[in-house]
A and B are shown apart, each in its own frame.
Chain A
Amino acid sequence: MSNKLLEVIDLKGYWWTPTGYVKAVDNVSLSLDKNEIVGIVGESGCGKTTLAKLITGIVEPPLYVMGGKVIIEGINIFEIPGKELRKNVSGKLISIVPQSSMNALNPTRKIIDFIKDVVEEHSPGKYSEEEIVKMSTERFEEVGLDKSVLDMYPFELSGGMKQRAVIAISTLLNPKILIADEPTSALDVSTQKAILKLLLRLREHLNISILFITHDIATVRQIADRIIVMYAGKIVEERPTEELIFDPHHPYTKGLMSSVLTPDPDIRKRKISGLPGAPPDLRNPPPGCRFAPRCKYKMDICLEKEPPLVSYGDHSRIACWLYEKKERGEST
């Protein structure tokens, strides 16, 4: 194996519903290298949170893995039995900061008691209470929280403090991969910036790799080395961050970026159009490109045949018929 820490190959994760399977993650492949921050961007319903769930390996009905592999350090995690997964993989190799991490803490227990529960769940009998307190104190200081926070209840903390606490707890057992699912979306801008700074510091000090999942392209561009854009359960484009931001190729990426409103002087002068229409029903996606019904560049082939995700260079992939020929010409 190369220095790929995490490899996702042709992953399919479907949600069961009485009216059919929702193909939330459909044939997704990606990789994460050591010490890398990769951003996954997409709108609600594009499958990014489902993808995060699948990568942690804790898949519960009505979500089913319909194919593909998630390989961490050479092992397909779907082949590891549930109990062993919780003991040896979750928290130690891979850890997740869940989307509503505001509610991830137990409201009836002090933070330190909650941490003891978590550590006991993942490493029963391995650490004594003093060791847990010592570890937590150190990690809390690392994320910028005073050790007195350990003796508080979640309701005593502000949103930003809770998010820091959850990040500290998720990284307590020194995982190699951290999946952060919308870690900044419920926070005020200044707190958001502080959390981004914290994630960068963790990468620096703990050598952690981060999969940063968000709907906010302006936030993720600040810290990601490369960005993967998802639409309707599929990857549509992947590029190194600066390239993607200054020269997006896929029509969806372009649309997504043109609807970002930042206080730039020229924004007020033009009319932001957004994207017309809505994402497809993933129980029954359209036969061709899933973005075609909303795409202003669509051609006949787009409605009939699905564009393949073509690689054309270092971490550069695109699934669009517009670029298919051009890029293939370049690569051969």
Chain B
Amino acid sequence: MTFLEVKNLTKVYETGFFKSKPIVAVDNVSFTVNEGEIVSLVGESGSGKTTTARIILRLLNPTKGEITLNGESIWNIPRREYWKMVQGVFQDPYSSFNPTPFYKVDRLLRMPFKLLGTKPDIETISHALLSIGLDPKDVLGKYPHELSGGQRQRILIARCLIVKPKLLLADEPTSMLDASTRATVLNLLKNLKKEMKMSIIFITHDIGQAFYISDRMIVMYKGKIVEQGPVEKVIFEPEHPYTKRLVKDVPKLYEKWEDLYIESK
């Protein structure tokens, strides 16, 4: 069942004093996300994936295009109600914490209750923390800088869990994490899909991660969608030349690029 539908989305940034240089960051993008599905948005830097995410999160207004949630235009839903259904986790967990080091992690975890309009309750917080593999004793009462990168990123996911959104936009959630901690976060997202039927848009430049986690894959290049389909099809039978190159240029652990040596001479 289609949950989110994005239709002909376009975002043009104007720069310069006299609006001389329009930059088309997102160019006529259309896709859908079903209930309980992980869709990854893959592309290199500047391909428009983060802009797309920010528009869906209603942090930016599009120049053109429609987005519907269960058939209803998202701009007609009151913001508060919308954000109860749609939440985001970002690349740099630090940027989501208050920059002043005086607030403890607890405060951040109490914030979702404001959105929900209920009283903060420690049980819900503890439950959310436990479900992502963090011991509440280890993190509550601490300051953000006292936590490791993996812990910080997981706390932001815990915050989302308290809200229990229907759709989660995860924008490069693992790019600041080490390979060994990355797996924990990816497995966590997979579980959310399975257990809570959450839909997830996973944004990344890393084909390996997208391949591991998602059901469908959308490849963006210079603001446009160049290819989309089931993950296995996009990776193993790519059609667009850009996707072909992207898949070919991912370094593989068990395969040595012999062409690298020949061409370097």
Contacts and interface: CB of A to CB of B under 8 A. Distances in A.
Interface residues of B, number: 41
Contact of B187 (A216, A257, A271): A271
B265 A204 contact: yes
Interface in B7-59: 44-45
Interface stretch (A10-18, A261-269, A301-309): A261-269
A264 B263 CA distance: 25
A310 interface: no
Given A197-B264, A223-B260, A267-B211, A189 B253 contact: no
A327 B18 CA distance: 72
B186 interface: yes
B84 interface: no
A218 interface: yes
Interface stretch (A164-172, A232-240, A273-281, A314-322): A273-281
A274 B263 CA distance: 35
Given A218-B251, A245-B253, A261 B181 contact: no
Nearest to B231: A268
A90 interface: no
Q: Is the interface of B mostly helix, strand, loop or mixed?
A: helix
Contacts of B181: 274-275, 278
A200 B212 contact: no
Given A263-B211, A267-B212, A274 B180 contact: yes
B206 interface: yes
Contacts of A218: 251-253
Contacts of A278: 148, 150, 181
A138 interface: no
Nearest to B250: A189
A221 interface: yes
B264 A259 contact: no
A262 B253 contact: yes
Contact of B246 (A189, A196, A272): A189
Nearest to B252: A262
Q: Counting chain B CB atoms within 10 Å of each CB, which of A198, A263, A268, A272 scores highest?
A: A263
A260 interface: yes
Contacts of A262: 208, 211, 250-253
Nearest to B149: A44
Contacts of B257: 193, 222
A259 B182 contact: yes
A272 B187 contact: yes
Interface string A198-212: 101100100000000
Contacts of B256: 221-222, 242
Interface of B: 44-45, 148-150, 178-184, 186-187, 205-209, 211-212, 231-232, 235-236, 245-247, 249-254, 256-257, 260-261, 263-265
7 contacts: A44-B149, A188-B205, A189-B44, A189-B205, A245-B253, A259-B180, A274-B187
Q: Which 7 A-B pairs have the closest CB atoms?
A: A274-B183, A261-B208, A200-B264, A275-B180, A188-B44, A43-B178, A218-B251
